[in-house]
Amino acid sequence: MANDFEQLRSLYSDYLVACNDHDFERMTTFYAQTIYINDVPKDAHTVTAQFAPLVAAFPDWRWTVRNMIIDAAHISLNFSVTGTHRGAFEGIEPTGREVTISEFTIYRVDGDTFTHVWDLADFASLKEQIS
């Protein structure tokens, strides 16, 4: 059965609040027990754990939706992502610089959980901005 577009928009809106609040436990509730990230199966808790070092380095890390496209089973997004470099990130000591990168993500949704995520974030640009 197809998801209702407004239901998917609302689901993603709730998820985005959890992401921007850095509420990792709540984020986990949106993921299938086994979720495929860029076609690699992962445990939901492993997925949220990857955000901890990012948020430690950029405590004000925030996703802002630029564009959202929804079909019966997918949510496709283009984000502007911002943060301030306040902690070490991949060996780079804090600079205090504000950064902005682009991110593109597609979620496959089954019921009220994300089963697949395909994600591309411009981390090369992020490193340039703090180097």
What CATH number is given to the structural domain containing 118? 3.10.450.50
Q: For residue 125, is pLDDT > 50?
A: yes
Please count the structural domains in the chain: 1
Per DSSP, which regions of 14-127 are E strands?
A: 31-37, 40-43, 62-70, 74-84, 98-110, 113-121
Question: Can you give the residue range of the structural domain that contains 38?
Answer: 5-130
pLDDT value for 50:
94
pLDDT value for 1:
42
Pairing between strand 113-121 and 31-37? parallel
* pTM for this model (two decimals): 0.93
Following DSSP, what letter does each residue of 86-111 receive, concatenated? -S-BTTBPP---EEEEEEEEEEEEET
